[in-house]
Amino acid sequence: MATIVDVAEAAGVSTATVSRVLNNNPRVDPVMAVRVKRAIAELGYRPSRAARTLRTQQSRVWTLIIPDVRNPFFTEMVRGIEDVAYGAGYALILCNSDEDGTKEHAYLELALAEQVSGIVLAPTHPPVSSLRDVLAQAVPIVTVDRKLEGYDLDHVVVNNASGAEQAVEHLLERGYRRIACINGPLDTTTGWERLVGYRRGLERQGIAPDEELVRLADFREAGGRREMEHLLALEEPPDAVLVGNNLMTLGALEAIFQSGREIPRDVALVGFDDSSWNALSRPPLTSIAQPTYELGLETARLLLNRIEGYTGPAREVMLSPVLNVRGSTVARRAGYTTIESTKPKEARDGVRQPARRGDRSKRGDRSGAQ
């Protein structure tokens, strides 16, 4: 196996020059850099990542910790993060916490031990205290999808309250009145804010939320199925349901089909997250689409900015969801308002690409949208 000494001898330069070429030092003479790169290619030399970490006290690696690697929501988000990381010369290690605080803690400690350049975290519920160890070692960290209360961290989120409110308004305009909500844990900002939007959508139309129709699950398929079964077993079942994420939507669909009911004849359905299968189901599912790829891009850009030296106050980037109306919410009565009124301004006139709201300072008030 070729060494850096072999490369230096083949190129007729010092090992220090080879090191500078490997680190893209702009001060190296271009002709000399070409000789070094040719020697590297001919010898098949690969620099030692461990040795580089010892020299720089930092690896060219990011750690990404997400709560459920099976959830399609995270697929495009991870791709957005990886595209930015790879383009900047960083590798990405993906870890699955499985909504388990103990696993999250272990992965955070591993990231510190490996001296990674930065960490992207979609936190578990409830968050673990080990995050303070990361902050104490000055490792740049950005949270994605969920905020962490009590930590002054950069974060990128979707306007969950707005998305849920749009869905409820849409259902009301189409004639549904007994609207239920299957939601995730309220100790996550996603779960809390989607519940806020659900209640606000009802209250703005003069309808008092019925707590019998609010069911809390775990963002998993089994939880969605269980809570949908409870709703259908009520003496007066709901005529429409807002489901808090794509996996719980799958569970809710299973419960509806097994009960012998039909969508939307017996119950209308709106899901949070717009998976590829939503448009292919029968009927196609109305859903709140989140800009998942952009979520990853913005997160990675904030982290890269921190790694490159930004030391200013914590920043928030909030992205806008879009309500995609399909057959699972066919109008129950005549004379409903046009569906365009349920979309944010930037999503009207056929423009369905979610828009970035811009960077804002972190706010502690959880009573409204993120």
Averaged over successive runs of 10 residues, the pLDDT of the chain (370 residues) comes to: 85 85 80 90 74 56 93 92 94 93 89 91 73 80 90 94 97 96 92 96 94 94 96 96 95 96 95 86 93 96 92 94 95 51 38 37 35
| Ramachandran class of 144: left when φ > 0, alpha when ψ lies in -120 to 50, beta otherwise | beta
The one-character DSSP state at 98 is: T
Question: Which strands sit side by side in the sheet containing 315-319, from one edge to the other?
Answer: 91-96, 61-66, 118-121, 141-144, 154-158, 315-319, 356-361
Report the pLDDT value the prediction gives residue 48, as an integer from 0 to 100.
Answer: 59
Question: So what's the pLDDT on residue 129?
Answer: 57
Give the pLDDT score at 95: 96
Instruction: Say how far apart CA 145 and CA 314 lie, in whole Å.
Output: 16
Q: How many Å apart are CA 348 and CA 29, to the nearest integer?
A: 54
Residue with tokens 């429409």: 240
How distant, in Å, are the alpha carbons of 23, 58, 64, 114, 136 from that of 89? 11, 13, 16, 17, 26
Quote the pTM value. Answer: 0.73
- 198, 204, 214, 246, 297 from 209: Cα distances, Å: 9, 11, 9, 23, 37
User: Within the chain, how many helices (H) and strands (E) appear?
Assistant: 12, 13
Identify the structural domains of the chain with CATH numbers, from first to last: 4-47 (1.10.260.40), 160-292+320-361 (3.40.50.2300)
pLDDT reported for residue 217: 95
Extract the tokens encoding 73.
């929501």
Query: Are 229 and 256 a contacting pair, CB within 8 Å?
Result: no
Which pLDDT score, from 0 to 100, does residue 260 have? 95
- pLDDT for res 126: 64
Q: What pLDDT score was predicted for residue 144?
A: 96
The pLDDT assigned to 357 comes to 36
Which burial class, exposed, middle or buried, applies to 327 when counting CB atoms under 10 A from its CB (0-12, 13-18, 19+)? middle
pLDDT for 14 equals 86
Beta strands at 286-289 and 268-272: parallel, antiparallel or unpaired: parallel
* Residues 146, 155: Cα–Cα separation, whole Å: 8
